[in-house]
Each structure stands twice: as structure tokens, then as C-alpha cells.
Amino acid sequence: MKASEVNNLSWGYPVVILVGLLILGVTAGSAYSLGTNNGLLYSPVLLPLEPSGDISKVFTGKDAVAHAEVFIAKRHLTLAIKLDSIKDITFIGIAIRSAGNGVYSPAYYVVEGAEPKQYPIFQKKFTEFAKSHFRTQVSNIKIASSIQPNVNWNYAGTVDWITHSASHLGQKGYLELKGFYYYHVIDQNTVEYYARTKIRGDVSSSAVAVKDMYLHVSRGHSHEAIDDFLPDGHVGPTTSYQESTTVEFTPDEVARISASAGYSMNTNDGYYFRIDTHTADPNSYVDFHAYDFKKKSWWIDPPAWGRSFYMETAVTMRTTSTDTECYFGVFKYDAGGQFYFLTPSGSVIAESPEPIETSIFVYPPHTVFGG
């Protein structure tokens, strides 16, 4: 959400299989000792139970992050975001709903650069956002996706639009990140995670166009196995793609796996773009690059001036806990891009917003409590 818009693979080791329509994703897990507090977000010791029912809270101004983190730290949540990694947050709305046994599923509404005069409008938008979160089904969820295992998922929470912007002569291009997160408890030690993430390039006027967008997703410093990464979503009606997978064995018989794919998206209104994906180590990271956002013409295709585009990823990951360590999911994102700006002289320049770098933590109730 941007402040100016107030009015409006699965694989068996060691071979990787890539199939689907759009984009590849990859995830990660992390762990903490059941006997200690890692100082990040949670203690495995149960706190007094909160009153049941829906709770929502808004934090504004330069101290919004600090106050929000105090609010988060007092509760056991199934989803957490590393807020201090995002610059210039001045409006944060957090809505939490009971998931039972003193655990809450949260939804985060994050706005950068909001001014005090805009707070009432964002408060209204957050109220509607919270209502949707409170109505969301929390268990036995079936997800329409080519990647999802045939199981019933549990809702962990939502993060709505983390936004960075680039500007030139009063015009702006916006890079936005949004995600929905789910989990499935296979047994008392094994959990599978599912994430749907949308990366969006938005523009303020017909003098701005999306040049390209990229997303680097990694599992951070952890050792859990990534279970699946596959495309999800559809930008139809016409999609063509090609993909390749290479497995090489080093002299010490260690498998080195690389994968790549290229996609061309043609929309039904004369616009198109392309996506390339690549990873040399599917257990660690994957890179996506969306580019050539163009308008079809009879001669040279111009940039897609005044048009917004998005790409969507789907991800699953499985973790298995031990007697001494409890594992949870970590989705580590680095998103960036460039925008074209049309100058009064008719020339075109490119500007980049600061990258969005943040981590999302998913904690199923049994990992929060180590039970």
C-alpha cells in the first residue's frame, strides 16, 4: 500500500522437476531451542491467555514500528514480519484473531511514508482489510493451485503491501509486495508451509512505465529441505514458456542442480511481458526476472505507459523438528525493479526504488509451544 494512493519440484533428491505456468519460488526454515528464548520473537514459555475474540490495533508516526513490536511481543502469533528491516513505515495496522489455545493469526497492513493528514483514510482502509481477515476461513482450506499438495491447509496470516517507490518530477513508480501464508501439520514433528506472494509494479500516471521487476527468495541461514517450488497464477489468455533442468556430478559425486525457465505473457488487451527464472541451487534460492513490459504496435513496441503489472509465486516447504529443536518457516525476500519516466523534453530515463528486503516467519501453534 502506498501513501499517495489514498483515494483510490516437487522433487526426490537429487533431481529437480520444474512444471507449471508462471513463476518459481523457494522457501526456508529456521529453528530455535525449545529450552531458550532466541530473542527474536517468541519464548516457548506460555504467557497468560489473552481474552478471546478479534483484536485490531493501529500504530502511526515515526515510532510506529517500535510500538507495533511491543504489541507483537506480548502475543503468540502464527505469522510475524521483520518490520525493522523496512524503512519509513509510518502506518501499521495489525489485526489478530484467535487460532485457539492462546495463539493468534495476524494480518499486517503496512504503509510507508504516510502523512498525519492521511491517517484517517488509511484507518478506514485498514478497517475493511481487518474485516476481511476476520472472515477468512482458518482451517480445512483447499487452495486452487498447481503446486499445493492435496491437503487441508490452516491459515497463518497475511501481509498487505509493503511498498517502496521511485520518483521523477513528481511522478512515481511503486514496487509492492503482498503475501498469504498457510501451514499443514503432518505429524507432531513435521510441518508443511504454503505461501502465495504477489509482486506488483504500479505507476502514478501515463508518464511512468514498469521497466522490470525482480525477486530473489532464499531460505536464509538454515538447513531445512525445500519441498517444492513451482509457478502459480495466470496472466492469460496466452502463455508460452520453456524450461530446462541440469544435474551435474562433481568428482566427489556431489550433485549440482541448476534450473531455468523463460516465459512470455500475452494479455488480451495488447500488452505483454516476459519472465525468466533461474537457480543453481534449488535448496537455497531462486531468482525471478520480469521484463519487456510492452504495448504491441505495428512498428516498435513502446513501454507500457500508465499500466500496472504483477507476478505471483507459490511456494511450499517442509520442516521436521527434533527432540531439542523446533523448526518454523522463514520466507526471506529481496525484491526490486526499475521504472521508466517520460520527461518534458520527450526523453526517457529509468529510476529504481530501494529494494524491499524483509523476512516473514510462520509459526504453527505446535512449534510456538514446542509441544
E strands along 61-131, which residues? 76-77, 79-81, 89-100, 103-112
Average pLDDT over residues 148-152: 72
Q: What is the pTM of this model?
A: 0.75
Q: pLDDT, tens digit, for every residue of 293-322?
A: 998 898 899 999 998 888 877 777 777 777
- Rounded-to-integer distance, Cα 83 and Cα 47, Å: 23
Report which of residues 314 and 252 the model is more confident about.
314
260: DSSP letter: E
Q: pLDDT, tens digit, for every residue of 30-45?
A: 443 332 223 333 333 3
- Of 147-156, 301-310, 327-336, which one has max mean pLDDT? 301-310
Q: What is the pLDDT of residue 51?
A: 47
Q: What is the pLDDT of residue 344?
A: 93
- Of 79-88, 198-207, 317-326, which one has max mean pLDDT? 198-207
Q: What is the pLDDT of residue 181?
A: 92
Q: What sign has the CA pseudo-torsion 81, 84, 87, 91? A: positive
Whether residue 223 is predicted with pLDDT greater than 60 in this model: the reply is no
The residues pairing with 164 across neighbouring beta strands, listed in sequence order, are 175
101-110, 151-160, 280-289: lowest mean pLDDT where? 280-289
Which phi and psi (to 5°) does residue 83 adopt? -65, -35
Residue-averaged pLDDT of the chain = 74
- Rounded-to-integer distance, Cα 281 and Cα 258, Å: 6
Answer whether 58's CB lies under 8 Å from 114's CB: no
Report which of residues 296 and 101 the model is more confident about.
296
Q: What is the pLDDT of residue 99?
A: 83
E strands along the chain, which residues? 28-33, 55-60, 76-77, 79-81, 89-100, 103-112, 154-168, 171-185, 190-203, 208-218, 228-231, 238-249, 255-266, 271-279, 285-295, 309-320, 325-342, 348-351, 356-362
> How far, in whole angstroms, is CA 92 from its chain's centroid?
17
- Cell numbers 503468540 correspond to 76
The residues pairing with 351 across neighbouring beta strands, listed in sequence order, are 339
Q: What percentage of the chain carries pLDDT values higher than 70? A: 68
Q: What burial class does residue 306 get, using C-beta atoms within 10 Å of its C-beta: 0-12 exposed, 13-18 middle, 19+ buried?
A: middle
67: DSSP letter: H
Report the b/e string of 287-305 with b at 16+ CB within 10 A: bbbbbebbbeeeeeeebbb
